Amino acid sequence: MTAAVKNPTGVAPDTSAPVLTAEGVTKTYGSTTALSGIDISVGRGEILGLVGHNGAGKSTLMRVLAGREQPDAGEVSWHAGGAWTQKTAAQAGVRMIYQELALCPDLTVAENIALSDRAARGWSWRRRAEHDVVEALDTVFPGHGVSIVRRTSDLSMAQRQMVEIARALCTPTLSMLILDEPTESLSVNATRQLYTHLRRLTERGVSMVLISHRMQEVLAAADRIAVMKDGRVVDVVAAKDTDEDALLTAMGGEVRADTATMRRVSADASSDVRTDGTVARLAGTGREDFLVQPGEIVGLAGLAGHGQDALLGRLWSNARGAKVTKRRAYVPGDRQTSGIFPLWSVADNLTVSATRRLAVGGVIRSAAKRRLAAEWVDRLNVKGGARAPITSLSGGNQQKVLVARAFATDASLVLLDDPFRGVDVSTKNELYALMRVEASRGRSIVWYSTENSEMAHCDRVYVFRSGQIVSELVGDEITEDRIIADSFGDAHTPEPKR
């Protein structure tokens, strides 16, 4: 089920006279060609979808279109003329909503709004910023629950995403929105609210470029869809004339994990990490005690913010009342603030948690570190290689490194906090395959995901509501319909266990 909203008026956007055009745009970083001869345009009031696997060049193209980076060759032109820079783009009312949120964590919501508003100056800047952000949040996300006087670091990922969106919408001269994975942290209801508002904006002539790995959202929301592969636009098609399988085929990736993927993620793996007895147990979590056995993939489902993060935190910290194996690893949901070390290389980021395995007499063996990094870069096909700066990688490849960091340890319990946010289908398939391979070796995995469909990869699923476990699903019981029903209604009460 998609939460996107199609154009209710049936009036087609005016693409005959583009407001923004890129011609022959090329961008390189050292020996890496991120964009190669891009030709693309966006019409007035149009939503142009942009899809492609991680590393295809989507985010680089968005930064060029927003004037944040200058192309090495080619040209970006605005319909009103003039050189296209970050300053002229801002003056023209072009705003970008980032996948990796660009908020200042130590400032309040209102202060973040004022920081990006050129007009928010003088004695009344705070009052104006507070008024603008409250109006934007209330208009787009009724019932959002965001306190504008709180620091953004204290907000949930979903609330921070709402603030990032609201900040862009506070632009008084808004003419174009560039949205990079805007719904990855949002609930289904908040996603529906966002797309409803975006369509209202297009009816007023605001143009948009939408990047998302959620194909059904792009198909439902966009007017046209451009497909990128290896830094090129390989196809542009009307959304009504294509479907998900056709887009995935054009992107050049497999729809499902194939035998070759399974073989690659299994290659040169470390020895088994089997654990005798229960790996983790938490009592008093609801109708069911929480339990993890060796070799299990256990899913945490239900509406976002209903206790899944808290349970992962209790397992990670081995909180009071928890019985958890000492050897555990954690993959955080926010890779930018609590995941990657931005000044380090891929190899350093990947191996930092495996120092116990790599050290002899308290000294880390450089050769062993290089071998471990190379093994996981190869297993997960991390583009850029072990020596590359972690910040030079796409978001999906950064996420691969974080997942590899956890599995490269000797931990018998791996905790995953929505680890596939913002990654493409191909990358997800690699990581699904990795989890299954590692579970077959005896490693246990506890996995929270905001996408109910992903729970089909689990052996057991606990559904949360209002901070409590309300049901435990196994086997054929693990369906999206059942998870949704238990999330909202009175969950099925299982028979007492014997």
Q: What is the DSSP string of 388-409?
A: SBGGGS-HHHHHHHHHHHHHTS
Question: Mean of the pLDDT values across residues 391-404?
Answer: 85
Q: CATH topology for 20-251?
A: Rossmann fold (3.40.50)
Distance in angstroms (rounded) separating the CA atoms of residues 96 and 65: 9
Using the CB atoms, write b or e for 23-57: b if 16+ within 10 Å. Answer: eebbbeeeeebbbbebebbbbbbbbbbbbbbbbbb
pLDDT at 67: 92
Buried b / exposed e over 324-343, threshold 16 CB at 10 Å, is bbebbbbbbbbbbeebbeee
Q: How do residues 125-152 score in pLDDT, each as one tens digit? A: 778 888 888 999 999 999 888 888 889 8
Say which residue, 190 or 16, is predicted with more confidence: 190
User: Range(s) for CATH 3.40.50.300 in the chain?
Assistant: 20-251, 255-327+411-498
Query: Can you read off the two tokens belonging to residue 353?
Result: 């948690």
Confidence of residue 492 (pLDDT cuts 50, 70, 90): very low
Instruction: Return the pLDDT at 348.
Output: 92
φ, ψ of residue 92 to 5 degrees: the values are -80, -5
Q: What is the pLDDT of residue 276?
A: 57
Q: How confident is the model at residue 496 (pLDDT cuts 50, 70, 90)?
A: very low
Residue 111 or 26, more confident:
26
Query: Which tens digits make up the pLDDT trace of 215-251?
Result: 889 999 999 999 999 899 999 999 999 998 888 888 8
- What's the average model confidence in pLDDT over 438-450? 90
Domain at 255-327+411-498, CATH from 3.20.20.10, 3.40.250.10, 3.40.50.300, 3.40.710.10: 3.40.50.300
User: What pLDDT is attached to residue 11?
Assistant: 55
280-282: strand order across its sheet: 290-292, 280-282, 322-324
The pLDDT-based confidence of 392 (bands split at 50, 70, 90) is confident
268, pLDDT greater than 70: no
